[in-house]
Amino acid sequence: MYRFGHWGVSLLVFAPLGFALVQAGRPELAFAAGAAMCWLAMLPDYDMRVPGISHRGPTHTVLFAALVGGVGGGGAYLLASNAGQPETVATTLGAFGFAVGALTVLAHLLADVLTPAGIRPLWPLSSRKFTLSLWTADNTVANYGLFAVGVFAVAASAYLSVAL
């Protein structure tokens, strides 16, 4: 998928999380999660800019999702700790950072599974390719369609989280 398709899938994955966070009285975390997921939606595709790393290789795996989650969780924990937050708050924000980082990469992988090229998410343990082969990555209708569905899902979850 291209940028708009990845943004759309990220928004679809974020919508229930955003709803839950607003319902829990944490709209600031919902905003932060949504912004981070959109900002990092293309992170796995930076493999195309790094010599020696194949596209849809190591950066398109569950292991990379865990690594990004670990960086996000560790960063959130350190920020909260250095800001003088209690240990329980720092730990909670660390878990939140992990979840947002990992979900962002997993949303990217989900979008790439829709294409014929697919992904090998369990590399290096398995080289099995996963693909649904619904449309090519450059399909304009699919990319903008996913984006529209993602925007609608976030709008609907925002409306419902405030209306309930």
Q: List, for residues 89-131, the tens digit of each pLDDT value.
A: 999 999 999 999 999 999 999 999 999 999 999 999 999 999 9
Residue type, 12: L
Ranges of the chain whose pLDDT falls below 50: none
- Residue 154 and residue 18 in contact, taking contact as beta carbons nearer than 8 Å: yes
| Residue entry with tokens 């590399």 | 123
Q: How far is CA 140 from CA 1, 136, 147, in A?
A: 9, 9, 11
Domain count of the chain? 1
Residue 105 to residue 122: CA distance in whole angstroms: 14
Ramachandran sector of residue 107 (left: φ over 0; alpha: ψ -120 to 50; beta: rest): alpha
Structural domain including 47 reads: 3-161
Q: How far is CA 59 from CA 25, 53, 73, in A?
A: 34, 9, 18
- The crossing angle, in degrees rounded to 10, of helices 27-39 and 87-113 is 40
Residue 89 to residue 114: CA distance in whole angstroms: 38
Give just the sign of the alpha carbon dihedral 1, 35, 87, 22.
negative
- Residues 116-135 as b/e (b if ≥16 CB within 10 A, e otherwise) read eebbbbebeeeeeeeeeeeb
Whole-model pTM: value is: 0.94
In this predicted structure, what is the pLDDT of residue 55? Answer: 92
Backbone φ and ψ for 93, nearest 5 degrees, come out as -70, -30
